[in-house]
Structure 1
Amino acid sequence: MSQGLLDAQNGKPRDDDHSPVTRRAFLKFSASVAAMAGGGLLLGFSVPAQSQGGQGDARKTVIGGDGVETPQNGVLAPNAFVQIDTAGKVTLIVPKVEMGQGVYTSIPMLIAEELEVPLDSVTIDHAPPNEKLFTDPLLGGQLTGGSTSIRYAWEPMRRAGATTRVLLINAAAQQWQVDPASCHAENGQVVHAESKRSIGYGQLADVAAKLPVPQNVTLKDPKDFKLIGTQAKRLDSPEKVDGSAMFGLDVRLPDMVYAAIVNCPVFGGTLASVDDTAAKKIPGVRQIMKIDNGVAVIGAHTWAAKRGAAALKITWNEGAGASVSTQTIVDDLVKASQREGAVARKEGDVNNAFSQAKTRVDAVYQQPFLAHATMEPINCTVHVKPDGCDIWVGTQVPTRARDAGAKVTGLPPEKIVVHNHLLGGGFGRRLEADMVTQAVKVGKQLNVPVKVTWTREEDIQHDMYRPYYYDRISAGLDANGKPIAWQHRIVGSSILARFAPPAVKNGVDPDAVEVAADLPYDLPNQLVDYVRQEPRDIPTAFWRGVGPTRGTWVVESFIDELAAQAKVDPVKYRRDLLGKSPRALNVLNVATQAAGYGGALPKGQGRGVSVMHAFGSYLSMVADVTVDQGEVKVNRVVCAVDCGMVVNPNTVEAQIQGGVIFAITATLYSEITLDRGRVQQSNFTDYRMLRINETPPIDVHIVKSGEAPGGIGEPGTAAVIPAIANAIYAATGKRLRQLPVGNQLMSA
């Protein structure tokens, strides 16, 4: 893998005031200094909450119903939190969940940089559910998604570390009776150079706890960073290597039983009857219970529960959903695409521009339902008691998990304790709390803890899917082949209308139109609109960057079509349209140069390109493919990424690589299809994943930039899909407008 830090064309490092959210709007100090059990220093920093939460526990914290943390065993959990005990132990409570994206390293790096402590000396822990303290203003709640973690954390986490550092310096200066300006912090201690004295943070904790918390501290100039920007090793790797890492699936409790679920195979269907005679004869099966539209089998272990579930004879009331097929969904979308949509962007006079265009190009693009298929199957462990409920789960939305438990049990939120764990893959699936709801319904009928595990088949066939999208897109070209008119209609489900209704304004789902409504290209006349069309009881949800993923494929594939119509090289065509977006132009130049774009390729091989601006980052991908008798092999992917100031280059490279692999699978193979209301795919045998021998070299080139950080968890997935599709066109001359392209190519 090659990785470079390349100077951007557009500027020098900028100070922290250029964060995407202003300091005043983003960071509100509610710093409190208190002595813990055993003595110590505690600083809590809260950001403005759009909703009030208060309660919940990760692993070591008990939080009262008033949302105020109380110490337990010398540990207290605030937001953007620094805790130092008298032994010098530094604990950081990370306000985002770790699902492989590296936040358990990158967020501590931000704090440790300003706190002046070695990264390998800190202890990290999950944040508990508490929207009052942990709301991400970019998302409007306490959740991990949307590639916002570093964008959200960039200033507040650094400020938490800097404020703590200044407070400790003040404490040392008071103890030594010297000017604080004559002291500095380094390596977990305060140093007075003139007298050659030093004192560890732990020794200062009690003194610092009695001092006023400094306000408006100065953050480091980027040129003085020692840790930010370095290739730091992942803090969560050792426990994942030695097997001590705790995922939801690893939970073991005294007297725990195990449950397997059988849900109605038809969405919207209900349970009619169940014959459990054979299931009860399975050794280890303890109990069989009905829950809403399914049946739960309780066993002494997972295998007994799974065998018992397989032995059930169930009759379902399938309902109207039994008549739904993939073609039904497509027919609904085609019909809906004839309607005018809610306007997401309108510039110039599109109709007049089309009337003056020399050439008109029209296309329809389709993208299928997709499952998440996370490595760790969906699971949740609960213990429901008369006076409380404990939930052990890996979730991207701890407060929603808490609230789901409260709703089912009828208990107040402060009686629900969420123990969050590492996530074995999220991709948006664990932004939902349906697994918690179902597990608590099972747990209510038991008096012992129960772990509910979905089999891979239940997971894939009862997922909440990336929506099926249908796009109509047109462009009018002038005599030189340059677009002077652009019209794009997006038709599909609105995830935000369910997930966060206030985000949908004037009929526009901002996620569905993301990228499509904010292109980096200079297009003088544009009309982008959105038609909401829900897919008949099929539940839809986010899938590793839904809007940019779906939008980038359509836009970048269509730009390639326009280049072909104009008989202009696709890279030159893009360069001519990127004059107003220098960062986008720069990543295109870096990627194509690194990929050796322009050289001749053997017959059957092709090279495709894409450009994307999303999540605050700029990317360009170049993909090389070989097409042989309808089979596609991706030979190499080169990416240039400008994600602003980089916290950990290792994380950026890993996220791009992971996103590319995830996207190759979706581009070539993945789709969820329906017949008689049933999902036809069931496991990795028919919902195929990219195999290790099929994984290409992925070269990531990081452009050095002084801009505020952008997101990186999802852009790699979004940007590579059109690059592969465009490469297939270059190799075969066949323009494929429906994913997965592997299936389309075989049938073309």
Structure 2
Amino acid sequence: MASPRAPVSRRGILIGALAGGGLAVGYLLRPRRFPLPLEPGRDEYAFGAWIKIAADGVVSVAVPQVEMGQGVTTLLPQIVAHELGADWRQVAVEPAPVSALYVNTVLAAKWAPLWFPVMPGLAEAPDGFLAQRWAQDHRFNATADGTSLAAYEAPARAAAASARAVLVRAAAARWGVAPEECEVANGLVIHGDAIHGDRRLNFGPLAAEAAAFSPPDPPPLRAEPMAEKPGEFPPGAPLRYPRLDMPSKVDGSWMFAGDVRLPDMLRAAIRHAPIGKASLSRLDENAGKDLPGFLRFVRGPDWVAALARDWWTAETALTRAAPRFRVARGSDSGEVDEALEQAMTMGSPTRVHLTGEAGAVEGALPVQIRYEVAPAVHATIETASATARYANGRLELWIGTQAPGAARAAAAEAIGIAAGDVVLYPMAIGGSFDRRLECAHAGQVAVLAREAGRPVQLTLSRRQEHFATFPRAPVVAVMAARPDAEGRPTAWRARIAAPATAREFGRRMFSGLAPFDALDAVAAVADPMAVEGAVPAYAVPDLAVDHIPAAIGLPTGRMRGNAHGYTAFFNESFVDELAHRAGREPLSYRMAMLGHDPRLAECLQRAASLAQWGGGGDNSGQGIACHVIGEGRIALVASARRDENGVRVDRLSAVADIGRIVNHDVARQQIEGGLVFGLGLALGCSPGYAGGRPDGERLSDLSLPTLADCPAIEVQFIESDADPADPGELGTAVVAPAVANALYSATGLRFRRLPLFAEDM
């Protein structure tokens, strides 16, 4: 790169950063061709990278995002079916292999600060060449941050429109008519005139001829994209596009990573060291010798595994072997709390956002309130599992992962081969919540397969799942405001002490650093992504958000909702406290500051009407909150109470504006699921740590809501023509403040720490 003192242009800086000044222009401008990732089977024909059509008319759609309950294996095929004119009953799904043709440039641009931290602004345009080239070079098609539609709707539509055009050309050639005289609907190409009447051909007989035509450029897109209007789906209305994954999930035939079976396959159980810099210090190597089916132990840098013919034998062998680890630097909850406190009182804040005058938000503002959030774990139902087969220098890997490129890289590095020598078969995940962005088990199973010389399936126990999990970051915030004569804030400052959790994750994923090396590398670095969502939705003349990096000694990771899961709690709890201090009704207080955002204001009004909002006073037990994530908006009214059994949430009434809705049923499921997940974070999911060991070893230790605890949930959507927004994280973010505000209404006591039961009444 050019010397910092040299006068260089913006383009010069970019070229130097990309290629050290050498051959950068060639890198940027050279044409790119990638092999077709879809392999047509017998009597199948590929139409680009997205669609295959079989002779029997079945349309297979490639889905490059992992299905983990969010419905992506329905949404993308639905978009293709609409654009193509296919019959939904003939649409199938095929998980897409890792390929540069399926890169997620939207996520690559959003995560530019993580992989291009020197000058991320140069790579933050999703349609820019830098993000696209980087994503292609790294085969980056991660599933995260609700970017599936934003990244893949356009190319899927274009592929379907092109396929529709060549199918029409094939049919028109058979009939001797102009293609413009034909239409496509319900899996048929149709031509009608007064002489011949209606002529119809299924896609199947046309597929071979159509595949020989060159696709049109540009593709002839339909006038309107796929959309379902909320008003068209009253309760009980039939679904137009039922989920494609639902029947197989109901009958048990849907394949997860733990369902893989290979000839001569061994099973592996594992023990992880406590979170910290640790190494194996003791292991009874003879402990499993008398167990039928036991083979051997395999040691890793901070783990040990047992190989056997069945998992229970492997787990029993490890229990008998009683491995012990020497921990040089173990994580401890008390030390975490002290580090956050020291950062808040003594740390140097970095201003990551400023609106208005800086001087107006400095000093001791009249209202200052502290909020705290403890670490939280994902509590996935399905524990980590992966299967590997290593032979002749190549590794086959069956794994459920949100980051297939990173999983390939981790497996390759673990056994010293090139990433191109790893064949990854993407498997569905039974809930991830960003847990499967971490890929340590890919490297572990690769080592086990190499050492065994046979296929190996590694499955983590529930206890080991918790041991291996990096929790959502703990956070402390001091919210400050200067209200005017009517109680509305004219100045607002959020000062948030938190580890640089996003940058830490980025160092693990993109630089391959070990957890504590990544933690140390960013310990003093400001991280705007760690405080994402801290800018409130309200119009405040002078507003600042400060991040204070905190070196807490505990590696942290991403989780559903990410920073929004706590910044929404800070903002909506604080604005509710400001309203009550001013003697104002919480709904009208919020509405007065939303003149610039009529979409969010409508969500609030509709949610209040849906819940029969009574003003949040007089011990009603009702609390209200709203939040914005990207272009998505949500308002929620919670009805809650505290009884002898703890917190009881009776009802959640939500109204969301997520723009154009592709599938109404999937969107509703995502809001509902996010609300329940957020309720779990509000009431539990928070282990303590001692010497790097979490004190929760089972799901029952995490105070998760059971089915009996789940409230009545009502969800409505506002009809909108805005671009689609992801509904999966909105519900997660808004629950905690709504419940906390409801508890204040019911009891008169404020809960300022998550999880809420961490405070005494």
TM-score range, shorter chain: 0.7 to 0.9
Q: 2:15 corresponds to which residue? A: none
Q: 1:134 corresponds to which residue? A: 103
**Mapping of 1:204-603 within 5 angstroms?**
204-222=206-224, 231=239, 232-321=241-330, 324-337=331-344, 338-352=346-360, 360-500=366-506, 508-517=526-535, 519-536=536-553, 538-598=554-614, 603=619
- The answer to whether the Cα contact below 8 Å between 1:467 and 1:493 also exists between their aligned partners in 2 is yes
* Alignment: residue pair count: 679
Instruction: Note closer, same or farther for the CA distance 1:344–1:131 as it changes in structure 2 (3 Å cut).
Output: farther
Give the partner amino acid of 2:583: K
Distance 2:352 2:666 in 1: 34
Distance 1:353 1:376 in 2: 46
**Mapping of 1:149-188 within 5 angstroms?**
149-188=148-187
Give the partner amino acid of 1:544: R
Which has the larger share of helix? Answer: 2
Aligned counterpart for 2:631 among listed residues 612, 616, 619: 616
Distance 1:77 1:620 in 2: 44
- The answer to whether the Cα contact below 8 Å between 2:165 and 2:220 also exists between their aligned partners in 1 is no
SS in structure 1 opposite 2:106? coil
1:663 aligns with 2:678: yes
Displacement of 1:227 in angstroms is: 10
- The answer to whether the Cα contact below 8 Å between 1:117 and 1:188 also exists between their aligned partners in 2 is yes
Displacement of 1:403 in angstroms is: 1.4
Q: 1:110 corresponds to which residue? A: 79
Distance 2:362 2:462 in 1: 50
SS in structure 1 opposite 2:261? coil
Give the partner amino acid of 1:242: D
- The answer to whether the Cα contact below 8 Å between 1:350 and 1:485 also exists between their aligned partners in 2 is no
Distance 2:459 2:227 in 1: 45
- The answer to whether the Cα contact below 8 Å between 1:79 and 1:127 also exists between their aligned partners in 2 is no
Q: 1:645 corresponds to which residue? A: 660
SS in structure 2 opposite 1:425? coil
**Mapping of 1:594-743 within 5 angstroms?**
594-598=610-614, 603=619, 605-629=620-644, 631-743=646-758
Distance 2:734 2:161 in 1: 36
Displacement of 1:76 in angstroms is: 7.9
Displacement of 1:225 in angstroms is: 6.1
- The answer to whether the Cα contact below 8 Å between 2:268 and 2:314 also exists between their aligned partners in 1 is yes
Aligned counterpart for 1:69 among listed residues 37, 57, 71: 37
Displacement of 1:534 in angstroms is: 3.6
Give identity over the alignment, percent. Answer: 31
Instruction: Note closer, same or farther for the CA distance 1:116–1:266 as it changes in structure 2 (3 Å cut).
Output: closer
Give the partner amino acid of 1:239: S
- The answer to whether the Cα contact below 8 Å between 1:80 and 1:156 also exists between their aligned partners in 2 is no
Between 546-555 and 152-161, the greater mean CA deviation after superposition: 152-161
Distance 1:547 1:208 in 2: 48
SS in structure 1 opposite 2:481? strand
Aligned counterpart for 2:68 among listed residues 84, 99, 110: 99
Give the partner amino acid of 1:742: F
Displacement of 1:226 in angstroms is: 8.3
Could you report, residue by residue, the CA deviation over 1:386-426 in whole angstroms, capped at 9, with x for unpaired residues? 32101111111111111112212222223211111110111
Distance 1:545 1:622 in 2: 19
Could you report, residue by residue, the CA deviation over 1:698-722 in whole angstroms, capped at 9, with x for unpaired residues? 0000111111100111111111111
Distance 2:28 2:704 in 1: 39
Between 406-415 and 706-715, the greater mean CA deviation after superposition: 406-415
Could you report, residue by residue, the CA deviation over 1:640-686 in whole angstroms, capped at 9, with x for unpaired residues? 01000111111111111111111111111221211233211111231
Distance 2:711 2:728 in 1: 19
Distance 1:542 1:282 in 2: 39
SS in structure 2 opposite 1:69? coil
Could you report, residue by residue, the CA deviation over 1:456-507 in whole angstroms, capped at 9, with x for unpaired residues? 0011122121111121221111111110111112222223313436999x95
Give the partner amino acid of 1:163: S
Could you report, residue by residue, the CA deviation over 1:296-351 in whole angstroms, capped at 9, with x for unpaired residues? 11111011011111111333211132xx4212111111211233322221122243
Between 506-515 and 573-582, the greater mean CA deviation after superposition: 506-515
SS in structure 2 opposite 1:320? strand
Could you report, residue by residue, the CA deviation over 1:542-566 in whole angstroms, capped at 9, with x for unpaired residues? 1102121121111111111111111
Give the partner amino acid of 2:201: I
Distance 1:727 1:592 in 2: 13
SS in structure 2 opposite 1:689? coil
Structure scoring higher RCO (CA < 8 A, sep ≥ 6) equals 1
- The answer to whether the Cα contact below 8 Å between 1:70 and 1:76 also exists between their aligned partners in 2 is no
- The answer to whether the Cα contact below 8 Å between 1:259 and 1:453 also exists between their aligned partners in 2 is yes
Distance 1:347 1:460 in 2: 41
Q: 2:6 corresponds to which residue? A: none
Displacement of 1:71 in angstroms is: 3.5
Distance 2:756 2:714 in 1: 23
Give the partner amino acid of 1:348: G
